[in-house]
Structure 1
Amino acid sequence: MIIFRPLQQTLTLAWRSLIQIRHNPWELGDYSIQPVLFLVLFTYVFGGAIAGGADDYLSFLLPGVIVMNLMFVTVYVGHGLNTDLTKGVFDRFRALPLPRWAPLAGRIVADLVKQAMCILLLLGIGFLLGYRLEGPWFGVPAMMVLLLIFALAASWIMVLVGVVSRDPEHVQLFGFTALFPVTFVSNVFVPVETMPDWLQGIVAVNPVSVVTDAVRGLLEGGPVMATVTGALMWSVALTVIFAPLSVWALNRRLARGGG
């Protein structure tokens, strides 16, 4: 019972984060409407120029948009965390018989649930637009697991941004400013081969490109061992670097008085 109580408390705090959407339904728009618009507009506006047709480009674009949206959604982990810090919610949590890590873990678990919903939504829209799986059926659950592992790792970056930022508006400013070059200087929208030689090397090692290649391989079939391994290595690296920094920064901020 003692072992499961912290887990129950974490899940309760995760549910708290999820039901807050009822009070801010526009948050769902950021999770869903924006990526769907990206997918539809890029498919039919640029599909003919880049791939010779919308159907061929959809097969290339959908995995990339899923990964890009995954990165953007992590900003809301930092945004929500910063909101709790600046409004004194974390101070109230400290007065309760909770593990110190439970509020942060609850926030991250809630984000993973939202990430899974976004992935399924984009896959559903993709199928409505004509996307069809070329790989084996287990490619979808394998892709989900891989993306959630990477989402967890990338979330630590935004946890750090959320802790060190002065207010939620700065979290979004710093977060999206950092993510735009990372996501657009990648193979999300165009093949690496079409880029200048000096840029191809940068794009090839970009974690967004590595994860996108892994998702394409899992959904379309073909060899995926190298790309999946690369995506997992990036996940481990991001976690090892940013998780300790985030926890240290959070403890330091709480020691100074939260907000």
Structure 2
Amino acid sequence: MTNLSIERPRPVADSLIMIGRSMRHTVRNVDSLLIGIMLPVMLMLLMTTVFGGAMELGRDHYVNFVAPGVILLCAGYGASLTAMSVTHDMREGIIRRFRTMNVLPSAVLIGHVVTSVVRNLVSTTLVVVSALVIGFEPRATALDWLAATGLVVLFVLALSWLSAVVGLIARTVEGAASFGFFLLFLPYLSSAFVPIGTLPDWLQPVARHQPFSPIIDLLRGLLLGTPIGDSGWMAMLWCGGILLVSGSAAALLWRRSRD
């Protein structure tokens, strides 16, 4: 009698396969590529060239002030695209097919999230290069740049898992896309583009007690040497909290989606 053994899924190998799959989909999606390339550059030019001259800081100094905010705005919006990718997979039936195969189904989410991180690192590089071209003058050391990169990766990782949760909940790809508009709008109610003290009194508490402000202030401090204050631990608390809650929610929703 022959003993038949069922090969178990290989988490690492399966995750690498799904990362490659998500990467190929990203490259083939011309619209997303154009948005990823053009949005960071256009936002940087818009904020500095169009609005910079009207700021009390002056255009040259405003480039330094606004660059960290544009970096995180673009990273947040880029991470939100994960929601649409996840919803597309869930509604097209490919997940059900994966579950009939010897593949770790949850590797699909890992593939989407890791691809989001890689895609946003490219987008962040474009923001930094365009900022340098128009006058950005960072004072960061090599260690500061490393810390800033780690902060951006943690931020994108947290928002990508949050986007995955939205993607698992959304009924349509269009519905999932609405999360991107929320993340594109929220930085405008923070310290990204103007000092919080210049905002209306009723809006200042909103700007101070939302995730973008401390993360932007920490990134600004790392790149420009400005005072960080409480922004360091607040930024880590926001990123860690979002990552923990979103990761747990994604795991729970993923298990329920099998029913």
The offset of 1:145, in angstroms, is 0.6
Matched, 1:11 2:16: yes
1:252 paired residue number: 256
Return structure 1 stretches of 4+ with deviation > 6 angstroms: none
Select the residue among 206, 227, 231 that pairs with 1:227: 231
SS class of match (2:230):
helix
Q: Counterpart of 1:135?
A: 140
Counterpart residue number, 2:99: 94
Letter in 1 for 2:166: V
CA–CA distance in 2 between the matches of 1:16 and 1:193?
46
TM-score by length of 1: 0.91
Q: Is it true that 1:189 corresponds to 2:193 in the alignment?
A: yes
Rg: which structure is higher? 2
Q: Equivalents in 2 of 1:243, 1:219: separation in Å?
A: 29
State which drifts further: 61-70 or 149-158. 149-158
How far the C-alpha of 1:219 sits from its partner, in A, is 0.3
Q: State the shift of 1:194 in Å.
A: 0.5
Which residue of 238, 247, 252 maps to 1:243?
A: 247
| 8 A Cα contact 1:210 1:227, kept in partner | yes
Call closer, same or farther: CA 1:225–1:10 in 2, change over 3 Å.
farther
Give the direction of change, closer, same or farther, for the CA distance of 1:11–1:226 in structure 2 (3 Å limit).
farther
1:158 aligned partner? 163
| Cα deviation, residue 34, structure 1 | 1.2
Structure 2 unpaired stretches of 5+: 1-6
Structure 1: distance between partners of 2:27 and 2:159: 26
Q: Deviations over 1:157-210 (max 9, x none)?
A: 21111111111111112x034324422111111111101222212211211111
The code of the aligned residue for 2:78 comes to V
What is the letter of the counterpart of residue 165 of structure 2? L
CA shift at 1:112, angstroms?
0.7
* Contact 1:135–1:222 under 8 Å retained in 2: no
Structure 2 residue aligned with 1:212, among 216, 219, 239?
A: 216
Superposed displacement of residue 72, structure 1: 0.6
* Equivalent pairs, count: 253
Match for 2:207: what amino acid? V
Q: Which runs of 5+ in 1 are unaligned?
A: none
Question: Structure 2 residue aligned with 1:122, among 107, 127, 137?
Answer: 127
Distance across 2 between alignment mates of 1:11 and 1:251: 21
1:54 corresponds to 2:71 = no
- State the Cα RMSD in Å: 2.0
Counterpart residue number, 2:81: 76
TM-score by structure 2 length? 0.91
Cα deviation 1:82-110 (Å, max 9, x = unaligned): 11111111112112222232111111111
2: CA distance, partners of 1:202 / 1:49: 24
CA offsets per residue over residues 200-245 of structure 1, 9 Å max, x none?
A: 1221121111110011001012444732321111112112222222
Aligned match for 2:39, one of 26, 31, 34: 34
Amino acid at match of 2:214: V
